[in-house]
Amino acid sequence: GESVGLHLPTLSVQEGDNSIINCAYSNSASDYFIWYKQESGKGPQFIIDIRSNMDKRQGQRVTVLLNKTVKHLSLQIAATQPGDSAVYFCAENGSSNTGKLIFGQGTTLQVKP
Amino acid sequence: DTAVSQTPKYLVTQMGNDKSIKCEQNLGHDTMYWYKQDSKKFLKIMFSYNNKELIINETVPNRFSPKSPDKAHLNLHINSLELGDSAVYFCASTVSTGVYEKLFFGSGTQLSVL
């Protein structure tokens, strides 16, 4: 079946350091990927996305890298801040036109002051 | 002025009861979803409606019945609640099917079945 997974359930970083959250996906037909951030007690919030015709996309303090050869996605957060503490999910669109977004299991990012 | 709002925020109930969760979006979106998040934070789609029509039913027990009276509302009714239904349920909406850049989630309904 389709699955999107993350390599580490919890990542702990020092404030100011860079964070890297990884994700492995299994559906080679996926052509669109998203990272979401979920803070405690809230719903997931869109951070950044990338299409399969790109291998890197940058936002404000965040960068998403896509390696289609090994079906790997990563989210890099520069100068991590306490407000970045949350659960991060990668998601893929799976086979085209299904209308479904498939989420990975989430990585909890803890930022130590 | 909340974009996607769901009620109630918390729902505690006994096994066997019937309960409903309501969702409303004021974004003018055509497509709405229900997702279930388990205790391990895994998010799984349950249903999707596009302009009041059911387009995704992801092998959910028929005790769960979504209803969309208009495209701004998508409610979830659950009959004969079971312990395994305990989870956080999220409503979400997007401009149209497949447009995930603008997928907005509500803040969730934490359902506890005792």
Q: For A58-113, write each residue's pLDDT tens digit.
A: 999 999 999 999 999 999 999 999 999 999 999 998 865 566 788 988 999 999 98
Contacts of residue A49 in chain B, CB cutoff 8 Å? 100-101
Residue-wise pLDDT for B43-62, tens only, equals 999 999 998 899 888 878 99
Query: What is residue B52's predicted lDDT score, i.e. its pLDDT?
Result: 87
Cα dihedral sign for A89, A91, B4, A62?
A: positive
Between B76 and A4, residue with greater pLDDT: B76
Query: What is residue A43's predicted lDDT score, i.e. its pLDDT?
Result: 94
Query: What is residue A1's predicted lDDT score, i.e. its pLDDT?
Result: 38
Query: Residues of A near B (CB-CB distance < 8 A)?
Result: 32, 34, 38, 41-46, 49, 87, 89, 91, 93, 97-103, 105-106, 108
Contacts of residue A99 in chain B, CB cutoff 8 Å? 31, 48, 50, 55-56, 97-98
Percentage of residues of chain A with pLDDT beyond 90? 73
Strands B10-13 and B109-113: parallel
Contacts of residue B31 in chain A, CB cutoff 8 Å? 99
With beta carbons less than 8 A apart as the criterion, state whether B92 and A45 touch: no
Mean per-residue pLDDT, A9-28: 93
Position B68 pLDDT exceeds 90: yes
At A2, is the pLDDT very low, low, confident or very high (cuts 50, 70, 90)? Answer: very low
Query: What is residue A4's predicted lDDT score, i.e. its pLDDT?
Result: 58
Question: Nearest Cβ partner of A100 from B45, B101, B106?
Answer: B45
- Tokens 């789609």, residue located: B45
Query: What is residue A96's predicted lDDT score, i.e. its pLDDT?
Result: 58
Interface test with A, best of B27, B41, B88, B96 (most A CBs within 10 A): B41
Give residues with Cβ within 8 angstroms of A32, minimum separation 6: A49, A50, A51, A52, A92, A93, B100
Mean per-residue pLDDT, B21-36: 95
